[in-house]
Amino acid sequence: MRLLPAAFAAACALAVVSPSWAAEPPRAADLEAELVCPVCETTLDQSNAPVAERMKLFIRERIAAGDTEQGIKDALVREFGEGVLATPPKSGFGLLAWLLPLGGLAAGAVVVALLVLAWSRRRSTPDEPEPPLDPELERRVDEELARFES
Amino acid sequence: MARRARLVAQGVAVGLVALLFLLLVWTLVTEEGGDLAESAARGDLPQAPDFTLERLDEQGELTLSSLRGQGVVLNVWASWCIPCKEEAPVLEQVWRDNRNRGLVVVGLDAKDFRRDARRFARRFDLSFPLVYDGPGDTLAGYGVTGFPETFVLDREGRVVEAFVGGVDSDEDRARLRAAVDRALET
């Protein structure tokens, strides 16, 4: 019984020293959803084109050989180019694809803020006094109102 | 201030529209696409787009324009393509029959694994130059929509004949031989 804490501590130490032991191998299904068939341009899990089937086999072979998810993706990029990735890489030119929508959102927010500011300022300016009514018209309105109230 | 904000908003909107317009123009200007097969069938003799690609059969690269002065049969193929297997022996024979007349057969393997392509070449005993375009970037310029496609280029790099699909029937083979003769005449 006294050995249990020691065994637990040893297991924890091993996990810290060798984090790769704890890492699970990549799943073929996950990779197939993140990689694109170069012929039909849908993700591999949606394609049964011959080249897509060949790529699926390649992924399973590399998983069985102990390769990592990134290693498998890199190998496929070396063969088919970056177009094989369903999402662009978060580095180099591919980073633009991630940053541009954020930049667009920020620019849109600035435009909306400027418009709201302009609109609220216009609303806060005091209303100009209305021009006086024609005396004759005012007299007739008063008469009509008096008749209506009586 | 309101006027200034409106001007800024209008400026941003006009800028965005101008940017989109420039993108459209750039796309149209840089697009190399075109149906070379159709153009060749009309007898227009369109110029084949140049490329420089990694070689599969040996080290280094091959530039199409470096073959100027020779006739070229450019065959677009992939190891997973079934009609490509049927026409591979035909192309090898065309190469062996005409290489001394100034013809080069170039196999352009695209959207394929290098290892599979080399295995294919060994299986069919292909001895002509092979180049590799994994992403298939050169295909759009040739208007390639499927595998295989074959283009016969004259000594000036102009497309005299194009085959969409495999060169596997007797009729196709006769057409290919005639196209090679035409290409070498120039």
| Dihedral angle of Cα A83, A84, A87, A92, to the nearest 10 degrees | -50
Q: How confident is the model at residue B58 (pLDDT cuts 50, 70, 90)?
A: very high
Domain carrying residue A91: 25-95
The residue-averaged pLDDT of B8-25 equals 83
User: Hey, are the CB atoms on A54 and B80 less than 8 Å from each other?
Assistant: yes
Q: Encoding tokens for residue A58?
A: 């390649």
- The answer on B55 and B104 residing in a single domain is yes
pLDDT at B73 over 50: yes
Rounded-to-integer distance, Cα B104 and Cα B70, Å: 7
User: Is A73 domain-assigned?
Assistant: yes
B140 burial via Cβ count (<10 Å: 0-12, 13-18, 19+)? middle
Question: How far B148 CA lies from chain A's nearest CA (Å)?
Answer: 13
- The answer on B124 and B97 residing in a single domain is yes
- The answer on B89 and B170 residing in a single domain is yes
For residue A35, which of A93, A67, A1, A75 has the smallest C-alpha distance? Answer: A75
- The answer on B140 and B126 residing in a single domain is yes
Q: What is the model's pLDDT at position A8?
A: 57
User: Is A102 domain-assigned?
Assistant: no
Percent residues over pLDDT 70 in chain B: 94
What domain count does chain A have?
Answer: 1
Q: What is the model's pLDDT at position A136?
A: 87
Question: How far A61 CA lies from chain B's nearest CA (Å)?
Answer: 14
Q: What is the model's pLDDT at position A80?
A: 97
Q: How confident is the model at residue A29 (pLDDT cuts 50, 70, 90)?
A: very high
User: Is A120 domain-assigned?
Assistant: no
User: Hey, are the CB atoms on A39 and B111 less than 8 Å from each other?
Assistant: yes
* Residue for token pair 């580095």: A91
- The answer on B70 and B4 residing in a single domain is no
User: Is A59 domain-assigned?
Assistant: yes
Task: Specify the higher pLDDT residue, B120 or A5.
Answer: B120
User: Hey, are the CB atoms on A115 and B111 less than 8 Å from each other?
Assistant: no
- The answer on B160 and B143 residing in a single domain is yes
**Contact, A81 vs B137, CB < 8 A?**
yes
**Strands across the sheet with B130-133, in order?**
B61-63, B52-55, B130-133, B103-110, B71-77, B149-153, B159-164
User: Is A52 domain-assigned?
Assistant: yes
- The answer on B40 and B18 residing in a single domain is no
What domain count does chain B have?
Answer: 2
* Binding-site residues on chain B for chain A (CB distance < 8 A): 1-2, 5-6, 8-9, 12, 78, 80-81, 111-114, 116, 134-137
User: Is there a cis peptide before residue A88, judged by omega within 30 degrees of 0?
Assistant: no
- The answer on B91 and B6 residing in a single domain is no
What is the average pLDDT value for chain B, to the nearest integer?
92
- The answer on B101 and B58 residing in a single domain is yes
Domain carrying residue B140: 34-185
Rounded-to-integer distance, Cα A60 and Cα A31, Å: 10
Helices B170-185, B82-98: inter-axial angle, 10-degree rounding: 40
Residue pLDDT, tens place only, A57-85: 999 999 999 999 999 999 999 999 999 99
For residue B32, which of B107, B138, B158, B110 has the smallest C-alpha distance? Answer: B138
SS3 A77: helix
CATH number at residue B149: 3.40.30.10
User: Hey, are the CB atoms on A51 and B80 less than 8 Å from each other?
Assistant: yes
- The answer on B181 and B100 residing in a single domain is yes
User: Is A32 domain-assigned?
Assistant: yes
Q: Encoding tokens for residue A108?
A: 């849109």
SS3 A118: helix
* Residue for token pair 């392509």: B117
Rounded-to-integer distance, Cα B8 and Cα B77, Å: 54
Q: How confident is the model at residue A7 (pLDDT cuts 50, 70, 90)?
A: low
Q: What is the model's pLDDT at position B54?
A: 98
pLDDT at A96 over 90: no
For residue B32, which of B10, B49, B51, B54 has the smallest C-alpha distance? Answer: B49
User: Is A83 domain-assigned?
Assistant: yes
ipTM of predicted assembly, 2 dp: 0.78
Q: What is the model's pLDDT at position A6?
A: 59
Residue pLDDT, tens place only, A108-134: 899 899 888 888 877 666 666 677 778
